[in-house]
Amino acid sequence: MVTEFTSIEPATGAILWKGQSGDADAAVADARKAWPTWAALPVTKRIEAVRRYANQIRGQAEELAELISRETGKPIWESRTEVESVVKKIDISVTAYAERTPQRQLSSQPNMRAALRHKPHGVLAVLGPYNFPAHLPNGHIVPALIAGNTVVFKPSEKTPAVGQFLFDAFKKAGLPGGVVNIVQGGPEVGKQLTANDDIDGLLFTGSAQTGVALNRQFANRPNKILALEMGGNNPIIVWDTDDIHSAAVLVVQSAFLSAGQRCSAASRMIVKDELYDRVVKEVKRIADRLIIDEPFSKPAPFMGPVIDNDVADGLTESFLTLMSHGGRPIKHMARPLDDRPFLTPGIIDVTAMEERLDIELFGPILQVIRVADFEEAIAEANNTRYGLSAALVGGTATQYDQFWSNSRAGIVNWNKMTVGASSEAPFGGIGLSGNHRPSAYYAADYCAYPVVSMEAEQTRASIGIGLKDEDRTETETAAEVSGQ
């Protein structure tokens, strides 16, 4: 059923976009029809097509950045970096495709060759998130197209305008009809798309709750590729360091960039007892100075609002829940405007909580845990079902080696933020953070599958053992077998 829905600017409350939900089944049918021709093109032609798309984005970079800021509430400086990532993804994906899925000649017998090639899956569905509404779906779509797949893209219902912009850019780039398809809508449209048996796979970025549901849905469909990039409950350990200010800066950036709406954001700061007072004081001091404002305001804000009022309400409730279960507030989360989803960063000590919440809060809330020794710090870092990102600030090289070896995470950093991973590296985690199909540079791995071939130009074959002589009777052979 077609329904109308709107996109609201979180910073202003103004209506940004109006549209109707789409028909996922029709979009899949269009993608299926276009797939054989697209897959049959030389890879050089497909690369030319996505490069034309990159040129479209490059030529409209400021327009796209402004749209991202209006639809997500991000500061304009941050949206510009997202647009840069969209453009850079094309060259990175071309390199990754050549490196991760090349054609190879393998060693083989004389007069024979063994070949390794890769084939596209077919029609791939892409479900995009709202926090990076251009960069993250782009990171699935471009590698899928290069590999020879066609795509059905459903943007988040919270950022449909950015999704439409990306689709229009593909269209302007001259890609054949049906190669990239968009279907707008909410959860019901998403369910229609994922249930369609004519898709060959699903590339998902979003919450662990939805990812687990998709994993169950695809459990009896092992022929479908499923790549899940989910969230995190990420730790950042602060250990022995003389530079308390830099340590606090890394913590604040990890926890509060994008208003905490990054799957790799630090949710938990684990700090050594002896450093606790100085580190917490400095983290709070910096957090108090953060400018929180509309995307285009001056001076430039560090962070804008969260995506909508429902999310802001949920985060406020989460902070109160932590307090009611034994958390001690260090910096109270505040809601400056009742009708818009601006939040000030919240910092709360949860050391005394008997059972700490193991959920992805996905907002500007930092939980603080004090520990006595390094082994306890690592154990606390791993005290989660998630496993996306982890960082150690301070400590020695030996302690970092210990931390790296024992961390249950797909990204392990030293004296760096938990956020800001390179697109030239794989991105993914374990546990509730993913299903062992890391994206970014490794997206090529799940966009095509390997085919091994043994090949000879002439038909020559013989059986050298186990055959009876042609002039011996069946009775003689049977007698030999029975031992007579």
Asked if 343 and 315 touch (Cβ cutoff 8 Å), the reply is yes
Residue entry with tokens 């024992």: 406
Report which secondary-structure segment, H or E, holds 346: strand 346-349
Sign, CA dihedral 161-162-163-168, equals positive
Enter the tokens of residue 91: 């060259």
Separation between Cα atoms, residue 29 and residue 7, nearest integer Å: 27
Task: Please count the CA atoms within 13 angstroms of the CA of 285 that sit on its side-chain side.
Answer: 12
Enter the tokens of residue 353: 């909580």
Find the catalytic residue in 71, 78, 82, 229.
229
Separation between Cα atoms, residue 282 and residue 248, nearest integer Å: 6
Separation between Cα atoms, residue 211 and residue 192, nearest integer Å: 16
Sign, CA dihedral 71-131-265-350, equals positive
Three-state SS at 163 = helix
Find the catalytic residue in 9, 78, 157, 263.
263
Q: How many CB atoms lie within 10 A of CB 482?
A: 7
Residue entry with tokens 């000649």: 105
Task: Please count the CA atoms within 13 angstroms of the CA of 377 that sit on its side-chain side.
Answer: 29
Residue entry with tokens 């409209």: 60
Specify whether 263 is catalytic.
yes
* Torsion angle of C-alpha atoms 334, 250, 434, 57, degrees rounded to 10: 90
DSSP string, 245-279: HHHHHHHHHHHHGGGG--TT-EEEEEEEGGGHHHH
Residue entry with tokens 């429902």: 310
Asked if 402 and 419 touch (Cβ cutoff 8 Å), the reply is no
Active-site residue list? 229, 263
